[in-house]
């Protein structure tokens, strides 16, 4: 393999941000340009040492571990073409510090690559920050959902935020426009959800008594003759939770291509709503470094605000 060769073994000390990470994944990121097959070979052959001893690829690192890494040949990096949205994403950053990056994710953009998508949000942000040692999604948003998306810039921040999510200390709020007249000012919905896969390979979710417990709290924000604007607070974070809860109750989200009213969606598209009206408007967390409560808010996208104005202009508010 063409490239530069390191003349002798290098020494590397593991810091707290790598605690708990598998050594094969750690070395793959550390030795950029080295094929993963070669990383496994030097691990299995014992050329990599941790605290002077041999370890397998599954070994999980501890703070202070002393790594001896043998000479490796690093492939010369060819010039890569930037992912199509890389520069555009910088304009959507809501907050960034040493531990966190908070993005107002545009609708239509997947959070990660896969399933025919080469570059998602996280890949594009990594491309724009080649010097970053760590950048991972804290949680996910559906491709067609816009709004607040958290990414961790330190493994310790990721671990802390995942613990907050498991403990239910992260507050997540969404705005959804639904078809129908929602009557209750506040309504708590507890419907178990089950994931399944269609023959085509597409992932779907349905209400099922044998599914996972799922809890959403809805608050009515504004009402029109045929539509209602709701704030949805997630108490659990199941896949498609808000969309399926609302569709099951008979209030499909406007523009939802999976669980919505398809005939209505065609009409709405002609009227200017060409996407699903679901927006992650606010997330409240304890900052993983300071421990202080911090709120991140994403303004309603222009196209969604314009559609609400259209409703105001053409229908009497209840």
- Which residues are part of the catalytic machinery? 142
Residues forming beta bridges with residue 4, ordered by sequence position: 74
Say if residues 210 and 192 touch (Cβ distance below 8 Å).
yes
CA 107 to chain centre: 13
Separation of alpha carbons 108 and 80, rounded Å: 24
DSSP state of 180: S
CA 97 to chain centre: 18
Separation of alpha carbons 52 and 118, rounded Å: 40
Residues forming beta bridges with residue 19, ordered by sequence position: none
Structure tokens at 223: 């009402």
Reading phi first (left if > 0) and then psi (alpha if -120 to 50, else beta), residue 247 is in alpha
Q: Minimal CA–CA distance to 176: which of 235, 224, 243?
A: 243
CA 296 to chain centre: 15
Say if residues 3 and 74 touch (Cβ distance below 8 Å).
yes
CA distances, 136 to each of 14, 166, 218 (Å): 19, 17, 30
Separation of alpha carbons 174 and 222, rounded Å: 14
Residues 6+ apart with CB under 8 A from 109: 85, 120, 121, 143
Helix (H) or strand (E) holding 148: strand 146-152
CA 59 to chain centre: 27
């Amino acid at each position: 393999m063409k490239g530069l060769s390191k003349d002798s073994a290098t020494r590397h000390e593991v810091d707290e941000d790598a605690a708990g990470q598998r050594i094969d994944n750690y070395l793959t990121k550390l030795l950029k340009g080295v094929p993963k097959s070669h990383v496994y070979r030097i691990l299995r052959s014992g050329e990599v040492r941790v605290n002077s001893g041999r370890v397998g690829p599954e070994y999980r690192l501890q703070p202070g571990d002393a790594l001896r890494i043998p000479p490796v040949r690093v492939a010369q990096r060819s010039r890569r073409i930037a992912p199509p949205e890389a520069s555009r994403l910088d304009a959507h950053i809501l907050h960034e510090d040493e531990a966190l990056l908070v993005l107002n994710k545009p609708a239509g953009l997947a959070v990660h690559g896969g399933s025919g998508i080469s570059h998602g949000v996280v890949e594009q942000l990594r491309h724009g920050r080649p010097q970053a040692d760590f950048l991972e999604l804290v949680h996910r948003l559906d491709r067609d959902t816009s709004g607040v998306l958290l990414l961790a810039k330190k493994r310790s921040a990721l671990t802390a935020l995942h613990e907050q999510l498991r403990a239910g200390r992260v507050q997540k709020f969404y705005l959804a426009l639904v078809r129908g007249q929602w009557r209750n000012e506040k309504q708590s919905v507890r419907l178990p959800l089950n994931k399944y896969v269609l023959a085509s390979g597409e992932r779907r979710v349905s209400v099922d008594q044998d599914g996972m417990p799922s809890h959403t709290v809805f608050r009515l924000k504004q009402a029109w003759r045929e539509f209602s604007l709701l704030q949805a607070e997630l108490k659990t974070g199941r896949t498609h939770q808000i969309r399926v809860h609302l569709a099951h109750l008979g209030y499909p989200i406007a523009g939802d291509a999976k669980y919505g009213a398809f005939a209505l969606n065609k009409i709405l598209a002609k009227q200017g709503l060409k996407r699903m009206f679901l927006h992650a408007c606010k997330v409240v967390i304890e900052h993983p470094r300071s421990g202080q409560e911090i709120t991140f808010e994403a303004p309603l996208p222009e196209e969604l605000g314009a559609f609400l104005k259209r409703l105001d202009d053409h229908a009497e508010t209840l």
